[in-house]
Structure 1
Amino acid sequence: MLKNKCCLILLFICVEGVIGADTVVMKSVTEGDSVTLNTDVTEVQKNDQILWMFGSQETAIAGIYMQIINMYDSNETFGDRLRMDSQTGSLTIRNIRTEHSGVYKLTIISKSTSYKRFNVTVYSPLPVPVISRGFCLSSSGSSVSKCSLLCSVVNVSDVSFSWYKGNSLLSNISVSDLSISLSLPLEVEYQDNNIYSCVINNPISNQTKHVDITQLCHSCADPVQYSQSKGVIPSLIYAVVGMTAVAVLVYYVKSMHKDTSTYNKSTCPLAF
């Protein structure tokens, strides 16, 4: 097997300089799924040679030589995930991971020589967005109640994050590369009967969370009444304090008047 491997790799190195331009095929897949890279060969003949390589270093991972399958990367990058079809030479990667994103190079030597490149991108599964209510908003003297909403996701990368009103896009943000946490705010009217949705998506999948405004913003139903009820206690306090102050003042005036009358009687008895 080692002899077959060395012969096959050396043969491809020797012929690579005379091979024409390759074809690039784009592939996108979700982490955990399987992806098959097709050779477009109907049946591998006895003298056909096929080699699969991966990454910028073009490391040999699988091949067929003299109709014998050779797996060159059985436990390093891919473990036991690689499967090669003996009839077509197509390569299947099972339970693919994000670290398996990259370029896969296929070289075929038959009656003619050709090769293809597969640019494979592996995306992490998308989480379902979480929608929470922030606070109620209302203007003084207005009967319109607004509710502040916040849509959040954690540990995401290479995604677009959006609020929709029906089918109309209201706002969105996009991120790439790093896994981060995202939050996107929105203000809605409590009486609004439109359908609002928070959507997270990447090129191959999406997750959507719809909003039931009446359920999430039920305490924002009557901001005017709420404002008035908040004003009841301060008004009562002001009234009690005012009445107490008046009562104290009246008592003080009466007391002063009484003391003055008593003093006059005791100091001027002969006046009568």
Structure 2
Amino acid sequence: MVNMDSKLVNKLKPYIGVIFLQFGSAGFGIVAKAALNQGSSHYTFSVYRNAVAAALFIPFAFFLERKTRPIMTFGVFFKILLLSLFDPVIGQNMFYAGMKYSSATFSAALIEKVNLKSIRSHAKITGTLVTVGGAMIMTLISGPIIGLPWTHKSHESHASTNPNDKEDPVKGAIMISVGCVGYAAFYTLQAITLKSYPAGLSLTAMVCTLGALLGTVLTFLVERGNTSVWALGFDAKLLAYVYGGVISSGITYYLSGVIMKEKGPVFVTAFNPLSMVIVAILIGAGEAPPGFAPE
């Protein structure tokens, strides 16, 4: 009986893990939108998020993997450099830029390698198309507000604090889609890298560190002379930086790597639509946090 219970728990662990990741992603979507509405630069957003994650994971990686960490080779370093570009720089910046023009409910599903002669593959393609179609509808069409038990304020009372941001759902969807391509490349390469460098904590720490450094260079190139984008305060922006660093970069990178070793990258990304549903429930019909302006 004990063995059966332990086997069941082991089988459920990956599912519990990806569901946890989706709840974390949903929460980040809310606080990120709030920060962007308060005028946060998506360039510094990415830098601070990855800097927080690096500061958190470097000590753990140094002490916990000091005896098991593989030798660094040029090939592994090059993969880590690409990982730092795919998500921390390209993926995150395009995603944040897109969020300024749309809502927090946009998400995407990624397709696994398919065999067009297989019924199973037909189901995967159909499911993906339905998911993406639903995400686009939620992004482009504003419907009536659904009254839920926790709804007690009108959405009209939550206007964006940044008047320069005008919603353009199509532009936002395109940017977020490009960001999703970066995420897809990241997860695929992460699974490959972990095979030759199976030190998850160290890999996470290095990706976040390089991502923060590359993002800093990009920010200085784009935001020339505009030092105000680096300003910090006790507001929604700081909350988003810390939350994004701890949950969406650090823990997500590491935990997704652990799950991918057993289930592969498609399993991790297949649950992405869940975060869209969670966000829609939390803010689509409820009270938005300060600085957040839902559709």
TM-score w.r.t. the length of structure 1 is 0.20
Greater helix percent: which structure?
Answer: 2
Q: Whose relative contact order is higher, 1 or 2, with alpha carbons under 8 Å and at least 6 apart?
A: 2
Greater strand percent: which structure?
Answer: 1
